[in-house]
Amino acid sequence: MLYREAGQFKTSYVADQAIFPIRQDRIGLAVILIAAFVGVPLFGSDFFISAVMVPLLVFSLAAIGLNILTGYTGLLSLGTGGFMGVGAFACYKLTTVFPDVNIIIWVLVSGFFSCGIGILFGLPSLRIKGFYLAVATLSAQFFLDWAFVRIPWLVNNNTSGAIEVPTRTLLGIPVTGPTAQPEVRYLVILSVVTLLTVIASNLVHGRIGRSWMAVRDMDLAAELMGIRLYRTKLLAFAVSSYYCGVAGALMVFFWYGSAEPAVFGIDQSFFILFMVIIGGLGSLVGSFFGAALIYGMPIILKGVVAMVGLQITPATVEHLTFMTVGALIILFLIIEPAGLARLWQIGKQKLRVWPFPY
């Protein structure tokens, strides 16, 4: 009976339309943020921070970007990996040309380059949709894969053809490069993801988000209501690509430390798409749930196998992961198409009326 809104009165329209209208939700969010910003750096091991929390945040941000386009606007995209690569290569070029500028600024700016590419490949979205739009974004993925390999200028003519992250500092503390501590890299990524998640939440709960959802539900009716389809769809492509670009820059500079073009292949695009499907289309919380489940599944499988005393190779774990992900996608599409986010909403609704049955 702790999760109850009885006695919580709203005295203004702003309070009534708040994203978290129930006090317990706001308290819970504050506890999660305190645990993330304070508890994890203080009590988490270097392995837990580097191998679990950092990639979880990176993939969550990429899933939010794809969810804005696919979940909220209804435009299917298979070019997420390529847009992440644009952000990573743009950040690399910017930080090598302007090494004195703070790397966090270039991470945020690099998303605008991905935004421009996303708008370019989003131009056909007014004329085509559904499967045909997916093929168009798939062609963007293949073109960007080709460009990352065939244009050596992107990596400053490096013979390895890979991005090699230099050491950059913030207030005299290394945040990128081999000397950067896991806690520092984690806090930088967490700050960026928190900021962009708040911005995305305000977008989807405002006029722009309502326009996206109207286009998703029925674009013809949305156009008759006065929504400009072309501008709305291109804006969705721009915002989605920006988030994916920033996620790609964070992945290379604060997680991998170096990356080859193969990192941003079609496999990465499908990987992010699976997170969105299982987490829940049209849900920011679902993006975090999907990233946690998909990325954490190999770790869980390894732990379960070790507990029962079996010895399997990493390749077997990878195959089991693919099989499990496929089974989960089919299961959710049949039983709960809205994904984990919908299960979370149902659980919260049950708690709001518990122990009463209504």
**For residue range 244-266, what is the model confidence (pLDDT) as tens digits?**
999 999 999 999 988 888 899 99
Q: Is the pLDDT of residue 230 over 70?
A: yes
Q: What is the mean pLDDT of the chain?
A: 88
CATH class of 44-353: mainly alpha
**Two structure tokens written together for 296:** 């954490």
Question: What is the model's pLDDT at position 358?
Answer: 64
Q: Is the pLDDT of residue 1 over 80?
A: no
Mean pLDDT of 191-204: 94
Please calculate the CA angle 102-291-273 and round it to the nearest 5 degrees: 100
CA-nearest of 322, 318, 246 to 62 is 246
Question: What is the model's pLDDT at position 80?
Answer: 93
Q: Is the pLDDT of residue 208 over 90?
A: yes
Question: What is the model's pLDDT at position 67?
Answer: 95
Q: Which residue has the higher pLDDT, 11 or 185?
A: 185
Question: What is the model's pLDDT at position 189?
Answer: 96
Question: What is the model's pLDDT at position 81?
Answer: 93
Question: What is the model's pLDDT at position 124?
Answer: 83
Measured from the Cβ of residue 33, the count of other Cβ atoms closer than 10 Å reads: 12
What confidence tens digit (pLDDT) does each residue in 29-43 have?
A: 999 999 999 999 999
Share of the chain above pLDDT 90, in %: 46
Q: Is the pLDDT of residue 111 over 70?
A: yes
> Cβ(148)–Cβ(257) under 8 Å?
no
**Two structure tokens written together for 226:** 């006065």
- CA distance linking residue 260 with residue 154, whole number of Å: 12
- CA distance linking residue 299 with residue 301, whole number of Å: 5
Q: Is the pLDDT of residue 116 over 90?
A: yes
Question: Where are the domain boundaries for CATH 1.10.3470 in the chain?
Answer: 44-353
CA dihedral in degrees (103, 106, 110, 113; nearest 10)? -150
> Cβ(69)–Cβ(77) under 8 Å?
yes
Peptide bond into 355 cis (omega under 30): yes
- CA distance linking residue 32 with residue 51, whole number of Å: 20
Mean pLDDT of 4-15: 79
Question: What is the model's pLDDT at position 169?
Answer: 85
Q: Output the pTM of the full model.
A: 0.92
CA distances from 27 to 34, 193, 194 (A): 11, 20, 16
**What would you measure as the largest C-alpha separation in the chain, in angstroms?**
68
Mean pLDDT of 107-116: 94
Q: Which residue has the higher pLDDT, 300 or 78?
A: 78
Q: Is the pLDDT of residue 103 over 80?
A: yes
- CA distance linking residue 54 with residue 291, whole number of Å: 12
Mean pLDDT of 327-347: 86
